Structures are given as structure tokens and as C-alpha cells.
């Protein structure tokens, strides 16, 4: 799988790190920190979701559940075990769907600021109507520092961002929720940690934290 290479350090715990709608660069810094930490010396696998950054997308792969099945199969293909799956934004939604499917190769899940859960009275923000500046306001504690102005990027980077946005719509739908997700979450029996960030203007904790009703690990906020 293109973009699915693991870090060169592979002696410690294994992580599958799933990026959000902003593309693989949104988790690259965290992946590097995990891989280079002298205490963990983790193996970090950071796949690029098909069609993000111009990668090919197989026919018929058009939703979050399909991505979850793809990554469960990837772990089987790689023959990995005791893996922690960490997902952010739609990556968190994918991680939740993986937990619903279940895999003996995964020991735990971490779901960070995920979308996907439909909660009456707490709609997810209409992402696709937002300007880049508004997206930064909803995404970062310090948007002035971390937000990206696409107009300052080279044309190829602007094209990649536009392509990623279109691909996100294919997988998540315009609403970025699944009405059936809540009921399916009740089937999860693997240790699952749910994390969300309160200080931003992002979707409310009720919306962006699909907490399983049965989980040996508690959810938390930060």
C-alpha cells in the first residue's frame, strides 16, 4: 500500500496511526515522536488512505467501513500482533469501525477528536462549507500558529489539498456522520480510549467522541 511504510525503528510496541481529513501530514509529527522516543522505540505504521495525496483508490472503496476492513486486512497481511490503533478525526471514525469489526491482532484503540457519531441537538459542523481560515479555527487551539493559508502554497500543494477534500467527502459524506454507528459501538469489547480537546471550536465532545458503551478502558478528555 502506497504511503503505508512503517518507521525504521521497530523494536517496541506497534501502532497503526490513521490520519484525518487533512491528510497524512496531520499525523506525521506524532508518528515521528512515537518512533524516535528512546523509551518506546515503537514501530509506527502510517498508511495514506486511498486517493489521499493522489494515491489510487480501488473500485468500490467509498466509505469509512470499507477503509476499516482494508486496514484490518492490512494487519493480517503484515502478520502483526499486539497493535494499538490510533485514529484522529475520520481516522478515529475508521478506528471505531475497526473495533466494531474486531481483530485478534489489535490489543487496544485510541480514538482522538473523531467524527461519525450522530447526536440529536449536537450536529457536526458543516465542514465542507468552511473556508480554510474557519477550518483552522475549528481545528487548532492556536490557529494563527498552525493554520495553513492555501494561497501561500505552490500549485501542486493546493491541488493536493483540494483532492483530499473531495476524497474526504466520498468517504465521510457531507454530514460526516453515520446514523447507525451508535448502535454498532455497543458491540465493541476491546480496550478503547476516547480523547477530545475541549479548548477549540471543534465539534462538541458529545459529537466528536464516539464512546463505546462497553469498553474496559475509560474515555477521557484533554
Say what the pLDDT of residue 21 is. Answer: 92
Grid-cell match 478515529, residue found: 92
pLDDT number for residue 198:
67
* pLDDT (tens place) for every residue of the chain, 222 residues total: 444 444 444 568 999 999 999 888 888 888 988 888 877 778 999 999 999 999 999 989 999 999 999 999 999 999 999 999 999 999 999 999 999 999 999 999 999 999 999 888 888 889 999 988 888 888 877 888 877 888 888 998 889 889 999 999 999 999 999 999 999 999 999 999 999 876 545 454 444 444 443 444 434 333
d(CA 86, CA 20): 11
- Tell me if 221 is assigned to some domain: no
Residue 213 lies in a domain: no
Cross-strand bridge partners of residue 117: 178
Range of the domain at 82: 14-208
Question: Long-range pairs for 199-202 at CB < 8 Å and ≥24 separation?
Answer: 199/141, 200/137, 200/138, 200/139, 200/140, 200/141, 201/137, 201/138, 202/113, 202/125, 202/138, 202/139
Q: Is residue 8 part of a domain?
A: no
Q: Is residue 2 part of a domain?
A: no
**Positive or negative torsion for Cα 191, 200, 178, 131:** negative
For 191, counting Cβ atoms within 10 Å of its Cβ (0-12 exposed, 13-18 middle, 19+ buried), the class is middle
Residue 9 located in a structural domain: no
Cross-strand pairs, 110: 86, 193
Answer whether residue 183 is part of any domain: yes
The span from the CA of 66 to the CA of 124, in Å, is 22
Residue 120 lies in a domain: yes
Whole-prediction pTM = 0.84
Query: What is the three-class DSSP state of 126?
Result: coil
Domain total for the chain?
A: 1
Residue 220, domain member (yes or no): no
In CATH, what number is assigned to the domain containing residue 156?
3.40.50.1820
Contacts of 127-135 with C-beta under 8 Å, sequence gap 24+, read 127/21, 127/168, 127/176, 128/165, 128/169, 128/174
pLDDT at position 145 is 81
Which residues face 17 on adjacent strands?
A: 86
Amino acid at each position: 500500500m502506497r504511503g503505508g511504510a512503517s518507521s525504521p525503528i521497530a523494536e517496541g510496541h506497534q501502532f497503526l496511526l490513521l490520519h484525518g481529513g487533512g491528510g497524512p501530514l496531520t499525523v506525521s509529527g506524532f508518528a515521528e515522536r512515537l518512533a524516535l522516543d528512546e523509551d518506546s522505540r515503537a514501530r509506527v505504521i502510517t498508511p495514506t488512505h486511498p486517493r489521499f495525496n493522489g494515491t489510487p483508490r480501488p473500485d468500490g472503496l467509498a466509505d469509512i467501513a470499507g477503509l476499516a476492513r482494508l486496514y484490518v486486512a492490512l494487519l493480517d497481511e503484515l502478520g502483526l500482533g499486539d497493535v494499538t490503533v490510533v485514529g484522529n478525526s475520520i481516522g478515529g471514525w475508521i478506528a471505531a469501525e475497526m473495533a466494531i469489526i474486531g481483530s485478534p491482532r489489535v490489543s487496544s484503540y485510541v480514538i482522538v477528536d473523531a467524527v461519525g457519531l450522530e447526536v440529536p441537538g449536537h450536529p457536526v459542523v458543516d465542514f465542507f462549507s468552511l473556508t480554510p481560515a474557519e477550518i483552522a479555527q475549528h481545528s487548532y487551539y492556536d490557529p494563527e500558529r498552525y493554520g495553513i493559508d492555501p494561497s501561500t502554497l505552490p500549485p501542486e500543494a493546493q491541488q493536493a489539498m483540494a483532492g483530499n477534500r473531495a476524497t474526504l467527502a466520498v468517504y465521510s459524506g457531507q454530514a460526516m456522520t453515520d446514523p447507525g454507528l451508535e448502535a454498532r459501538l455497543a458491540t465493541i469489547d476491546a480496550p478503547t480510549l476516547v480523547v477530545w480537546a475541549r479548548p477549540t471550536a471543534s465539534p462538541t465532545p458529545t459529537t466528536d467522541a464516539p464512546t463505546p458503551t462497553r469498553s474496559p478502558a475509560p474515555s477521557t478528555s484533554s
